[in-house]
Chains A and B, each alone.
Chain A
Amino acid sequence: SQQGEEDPQALSIQEGENATMNCSYKTSINNLQWYRQNSGRGLVHLILIRSNEREKHSGRLRVTLDTSKKSSSLLITASRAADTASYFCATVSVLDMRFGAGTRLTVKP
């Protein structure tokens, strides 16, 4: 069963705009990770945020984590057509690691 639930399921924006994807989860976690998947390829790790962290940056990516609301967001700034992909959050607990259903991002040139 899924742990994280991404929102929205699909997002279409113009190049240069920012894209925000959200992830909600249900149980306590050790960390939360975001991955990207190009069509038909394996997932690629983007960023990890620990349960005691609130915000993390990596290049054009900004991730926030609110453990009280059990939610995280991924912001991609100044999007590019090459950012078109599916984005997944993954929650890591003591027991296991579970992925959400993903957000399909389309960036139009």
Chain B
Amino acid sequence: DSGVTQTPKHLITATGQRVTLRCSPRSGDLSVYWYQQSLDQGLQFLIQYYNGEERAKGNILERFSAQQFPDLHSELNLSSLELGDSALYFCASSVSNSPLHFGNGTRLTVT
């Protein structure tokens, strides 16, 4: 058990909809990372937060947004969903740039 909790585990929704994915980092970890994993794109870095502040941004679409709250949990909001957004979304946490601890992901299916 990595100590990182992601909810929900599975999510099925329709195109055009909006969903929120939630992540509780490992106790004591200030950094939270979001990754998208699809079959044809591999593991894509989306965004990183450190202690509530955005630290780094990757290939995150404008339709996606994220935030980290004072209690350090993080949410990834995906809106105007398209079929191509279907993927596994992983959250990871770390103390700094030390090894990441990954949750088991949220599998999003857009129909």
Q: Using known A-B contacts A42-B2, A43-B90, determine if residue A96 contacts B43 with beta carbons closer than 8 Å.
A: no
Contact B56 A99 (CB under 8 A): no
Q: Which residues from 17 to 67 on chain A have a C-beta closer than 8 Å to any C-beta of chain B?
A: 30-31, 33, 35, 40-45, 48
Please classify the interface of chain B as helix (H, G, I), strand (E, B), loop, or mixed, using the class held by over half of its residues.
strand
Pick the interface stretch among B13-21, B78-86, B98-106. B98-106
**A41 in complex: contacting residue of B42, B100, B105, CB < 8 Å:** B105
Give the size of the chain B interface in residues (CB under 8 angstroms). Answer: 24
Contact B56 A44 (CB under 8 A): no
B residues at A contact (CB < 8 Å): 2, 4, 33, 35, 42-43, 45, 48, 56, 58-59, 88, 90, 92, 97-105, 107
A residues at B contact (CB < 8 Å): 1-2, 30-31, 33, 35, 40-45, 48, 88, 90, 92, 95-102
